[in-house]
Structure 1
Amino acid sequence: MSAVENDELPELPRGIALAWGVAANPQRGPKREMSVERIVDAAVELADAEGIGAVSMAAVAARLGYTPMSLYRYVTAKDDLLLLMQEEATGVPPDEHREHEGWRAKLGVLFEAQVQVFLRHPWILSLPITGSPITPNSSAWIDAGLEALSDTPLTDEERLAVALAVTGEARWYGMVLAGYDEQARTSGLSPQEVSEREAALFDRVITADEFPALRRAIEAGVFTATGDPFRFALERIFDGVALYIDALDRGDARDMAPEWVGLDAAEAGGDKRYREAQKAVREAEKALRLARKAERQAHREALERLAKTGRASRAAAE
């Protein structure tokens, strides 16, 4: 019998309880000016200014003018602090999405808003995903995505899948934009100049023999193109959802994938012989790539020698 069936609900972890405002306040502590909210605000300011690596209980306490032990009376673990920081920085979804007509436009607004969160607080992207964040603001974003799809024939499971796809695309977009912003900040180059530098580096190392499709893309200028590939991808996701909804309206069968992707049981269990076999396969694949590269190089040089010999023969004949 599960805990729920036995009417024994699990106790909320301290961080989640703090986020919902249902955790007990410390009986004793420093001056009344101290609070969980002040601690979290100071930590977010520190992360925004110096990155998540600068955040520690000692650094936050120093920023507030207290000792680290004073903070532990309110936030008992750094993991709880990180959870509350993410909750604060994420905020709530904009009401603007409700002003738009249709699920597609509403989800588009939520996508843009999520990207902006990541750009304002890029350190969020470095926090590990350990499950669904069961906090008020994060729940509000999920609710907004589901609400945007409420007038569609999708099931609740399918609506959640679409909302997660939008969130995932926004996160990936935010990671790339934040990375380019950081490169621009540290190098002094503009984001466009960073792209041009990367394109030049690709141009130096990518050959048509080894990576023919990528070489064609480089020569087409994809890495310096002005089009937005992430919004393009989002629109294609929406196109697919729209086609699926049309199929449901026609009475076609649903098509939810039955299982999550997972590691092979032997790999997940850390089996030593399996890991060694995988390593051997990777080394063999690497050797094969090198051999094929050497073959292409030898072929190219042979063609050059034949061409040179042919030119010499023609010259002698003339």
Structure 2
Amino acid sequence: MGARERSSAGDPVRTLELLWREPGQGGPARGPKQRTTVDAVVAAALEIADAEGLGALTMRSVAAKLGVTPMATYTYVPGKAELLDLMLDTVYHAMPRADLTGMPWRDKVSVIAAENRALLAAHSWVAYVPTTRPPLGPGVTAKYDHELRAFDGLGLSDVEMDAALTYLLGFVTSVARIAIDTARAAADSGESDHEWWERAAPLLERVMPAERYPLAARVGAAAGQAHDSAYSADHAYDFGLARTLDGLAAMIESRAG
């Protein structure tokens, strides 16, 4: 990933103007009839990133998909940095948002986790884009406001609510990355985890004898048998979410007490 492939790496004023434009706006108002729009540029970029990853995303590849010259795309979006912020905000804006009204707080937090896991499964490139400076567009803002509702009214301070959400989303993203990496490894190698371990097992038994590494051998064998692999993203998600909820419960219950 390039140095500028993070959120808010472009011109902040131009980026915010584009993020908060009215739908259909953002192109030049004068001159000859335009062949595309900001929305079309973003849609084309999303198609490329979802299918091929951010490595394949360039202003030239977007232009080719739209059937315009590369310079024409710069008429609508100043560059890839600003385009990436538009892409992030667009997928955040399109996320389904469940009605959390009346749910117990654990259910609310679990729903927020599931919504983000689904987003990262559909747009795997999002899991690798640093967002310490989030693109503060309507999509990001609506997502943040919605997700904070899972922690509202629990006795947490505003700073603690923000930290609890950050903690939850960090967990979801870390598990999603491993799941994505596992799928990519299988696709690149042309063999599943099960097939890879079967081929590696004879050598590993020679270089890693159970009598020398008894815990690694015992626990690794149990996990491998349970998951048919060294790792199960589903199991890690279920186990980790339960522990995350337990950790948050300790803080929330201390406030109530």
TM-score, length of structure 1 as denominator length = 0.66
Tell me if the contact between 1:96 and 1:109 (Cα under 8 Å) persists in the aligned partners: yes
Alignment size in residue pairs: 239
Tell me if the contact between 1:92 and 1:140 (Cα under 8 Å) persists in the aligned partners: no
DSSP-derived class of the 1:148 partner: coil
TM-score, length of structure 2 as denominator length = 0.80
DSSP-derived class of the 2:98 partner: helix
Tell me if the contact between 1:196 and 1:223 (Cα under 8 Å) persists in the aligned partners: no
Q: CA offsets, 1:250-282, max 9 Å, x none?
A: 2xxxxxxxxxxxxxxxxxxxxxxxxxxxxxxxx
Aligned partners of 2:133, 2:206: CA distance in 1, in Å? 41
DSSP-derived class of the 2:191 partner: coil
Aligned partners of 1:64, 1:105: CA distance in 2, in Å? 43
Change (3 A) 1:93 1:47: closer
Instruction: Please tell me the residue identity of whatever aligns with 1:48.
Output: D
Structure 2 unaligned blocks of 5 or more:
1-10
Is 1:90 the counterpart of 2:92? The answer is yes
Q: In the alignment, which of 28, 31, 45 is matched to residue 43 of structure 1? A: 45
- Larger RCO: Structure 1 or Structure 2 (Cα < 8 Å, ≥ 6 residues apart)? 2
Tell me if the contact between 2:91 and 2:139 (Cα under 8 Å) persists in the aligned partners: no
Instruction: Please tell me the residue identity of whatever aligns with 1:108.
Output: S
Aligned partners of 2:181, 2:192: CA distance in 1, in Å? 12
Change (3 A) 1:248 1:130: closer
**Which residue is 2:104 aligned to?**
102
Instruction: Please tell me the residue identity of whatever aligns with 2:220.
Output: I
Change (3 A) 1:197 1:180: farther
DSSP-derived class of the 2:136 partner: coil
**Which residue is 1:296 aligned to?**
none
Tell me if the contact between 2:20 and 2:137 (Cα under 8 Å) persists in the aligned partners: yes
Instruction: Please tell me the residue identity of whatever aligns with 1:20.
Output: W
Change (3 A) 1:224 1:29: farther
Aligned partners of 2:200, 2:178: CA distance in 1, in Å? 13
Query: Once the 2 structures are TM-superposed, how far is the Cα of residue 63 of structure 1 from its aligned partner?
Result: 0.9
Tell me if the contact between 1:173 and 1:230 (Cα under 8 Å) persists in the aligned partners: yes
Aligned partners of 2:207, 2:33: CA distance in 1, in Å? 61
**Which residue is 2:252 aligned to?**
245
**Which residue is 2:64 aligned to?**
62
Query: Once the 2 structures are TM-superposed, how far is the Cα of residue 146 of structure 1 from its aligned partner?
Result: 1.1
**Which residue is 1:313 aligned to?**
none
Tell me if the contact between 1:29 and 1:73 (Cα under 8 Å) persists in the aligned partners: no
Aligned partners of 2:87, 2:159: CA distance in 1, in Å? 29
Q: CA offsets, 1:104-143, max 9 Å, x none?
A: 1111111111111111111122323342331221222221
After superposition, residues 184-263 of structure 1 pair within 5 angstroms as: 184-190=186-192, 193=195, 206=208, 213-219=215-221, 221-226=222-227, 228-250=235-257
After superposition, residues 294-305 of structure 1 pair within 5 angstroms as: none
Change (3 A) 1:90 1:24: closer
Tell me if the contact between 2:97 and 2:115 (Cα under 8 Å) persists in the aligned partners: no
Aligned partners of 2:156, 2:76: CA distance in 1, in Å? 43
Change (3 A) 1:218 1:98: same
CA RMSD of aligned residues (A): 2.9
**Which residue is 2:8 aligned to?**
none
Query: Once the 2 structures are TM-superposed, how far is the Cα of residue 170 of structure 1 from its aligned partner?
Result: 1.2
Q: In the alignment, which of 67, 73, 76 is matched to residue 75 of structure 2? A: 73
Instruction: Please tell me the residue identity of whatever aligns with 1:40.
Output: V
DSSP-derived class of the 1:95 partner: coil
Aligned partners of 1:195, 1:113: CA distance in 2, in Å? 32
Aligned partners of 1:217, 1:44: CA distance in 2, in Å? 42
Query: Once the 2 structures are TM-superposed, how far is the Cα of residue 14 of structure 1 from its aligned partner?
Result: 1.4
Aligned partners of 1:80, 1:248: CA distance in 2, in Å? 42
Tell me if the contact between 1:199 and 1:218 (Cα under 8 Å) persists in the aligned partners: no
- % same residue: 33
Aligned partners of 1:147, 1:32: CA distance in 2, in Å? 42
**Which residue is 1:146 aligned to?**
148
Tell me if the contact between 1:87 and 1:135 (Cα under 8 Å) persists in the aligned partners: yes
